[in-house]
């Protein structure tokens, strides 16, 4: 598919999705929403692609919804998998890294919160300012942020629309690593290399267990986790044989994803 608002690049087993509507501060209109949905659909379906990175062109990650276009009045106004084709993509077991090169605001921040690892440049900042324009952050931000940083600190951000820096985001716990300005993508690629050094099916099983049982009591999760299809597939895979064998033979494993 030919895209007009995003760029998609494959580097080995890594898919890099870049939002590029710089005159609009990388805010998303319907075309951008549809293109991001398509790009993440393609990544999810491609067995040869194991890690995705989401970033923005220029000096901003994304200003969220393009306020020059009508705000969605319900989930039917968004792509099938939520804002940017990612905020409600609950069946994606492959890891997604956010390379936040600048401000991530509103829906832009909600896309970041939907990613598994967040790399933020020093100049990056984060906010859910919807309340300041009479709207509500209903693409997962209100639900995800309290789970990541606690109810009181999250409400302090969400009820005021307060913007926080990359350093504060790291201190609060929703930023994985702060990178020098201009190095967010480079740092995200380093993290992607670390992910690719691990068995892909084991990585996906780990993500699925972590997400499915995030709020469950340990007593309710310890045994059922073994029955997840992703866990059973990983535990009985060729890679589950290759990993211990490579360790004993003192060599790097050759993962196949099977």
pLDDT in tens, 205-224: 999 999 999 999 999 999 99
Percent of the chain with pLDDT over 90: 96
Q: Mean pLDDT across the stretch 71-98?
A: 93
Distance (Å, rounded) from C-alpha 242 to C-alpha 244? Answer: 6
pLDDT in tens, 146-185: 999 999 999 999 999 999 999 999 999 999 999 999 999 9
Percent of the chain with pLDDT over 70: 100
- Paired with 10 in beta bridges are 15
In angstroms, the first-to-last Cα distance of the chain is 28
Q: In the predicted model, is pLDDT for residue 73 greater than 80?
A: no
For residue 75, the model assigns a pLDDT of 87
| Catalytic residue from among 76, 130, 177, 242 | 130
pLDDT in tens, 124-152: 999 999 999 999 999 999 999 999 999 99
pLDDT in tens, 11-22: 999 999 999 999
For residue 74, the model assigns a pLDDT of 85
pTM: 0.96
pLDDT in tens, 104-116: 999 999 999 999 9
Residue 254 among the catalytic residues: no
Domain over 6-196 is classified CATH 3.40.630.30: no
Distance (Å, rounded) from C-alpha 97 to C-alpha 222? Answer: 27
Residue 177 among the catalytic residues: no
For residue 199, the model assigns a pLDDT of 98
For residue 76, the model assigns a pLDDT of 86
Q: Mean pLDDT across the stretch 96-123?
A: 98
Q: In the predicted model, is pLDDT for residue 239 greater than 90?
A: yes
| Catalytic residue from among 35, 110, 168, 194 | 110
Going by C-alpha positions, the residue among 117, 98, 6, 119 that lies closest to residue 57 is 6
């Amino acid at each position: 598919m030919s895209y007009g608002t995003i760029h998609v690049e494959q580097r080995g087993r890594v898919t890099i999705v870049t939002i590029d509507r710089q005159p609009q501060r990388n805010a998303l209109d319907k075309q951008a929403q549809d293109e991001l949905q398509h790009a993440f659909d393609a990544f999810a379906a491609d067995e040869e692609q194991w890690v995705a990175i989401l970033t923005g062109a220029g000096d901003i990650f994304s200003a969220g919804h393009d306020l020059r276009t009508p705000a969605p009045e319900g989930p039917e106004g968004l792509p099938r998998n939520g804002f940017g084709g990612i905020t409600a993509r609950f069946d994606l077991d492959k890891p997604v890294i956010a390379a936040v090169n600048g401000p991530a605001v509103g829906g832009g921040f909600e896309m970041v919160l939907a990613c598994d690892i967040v790399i933020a440049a020093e100049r990056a900042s984060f906010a859910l300012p919807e309340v300041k324009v009479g709207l509500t952050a209903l693409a997962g931000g209100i639900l995800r942020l309290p789970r990541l940083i606690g109810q009181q600190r999250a409400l302090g951000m969400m009820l005021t629309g307060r913007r926080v820096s990359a350093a504060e985001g790291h201190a609060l716990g929703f930023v994985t690593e702060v990178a020098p300005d201009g190095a967010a993508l480079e740092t995200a690629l380093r993290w992607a290399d670390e992910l690719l050094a691990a068995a892909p099916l084991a990585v996906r099983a780990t993500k699925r267990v972590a997400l499915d049982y995030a709020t469950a009591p340990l007593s309710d999760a310890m045994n059922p986790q073994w029955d997840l299809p992703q866990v059973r597939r990983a535990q009985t895979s060729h890679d589950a044989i290759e990993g211990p064998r490579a360790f004993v033979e003192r060599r790097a494993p050759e993962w196949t994803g099977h």
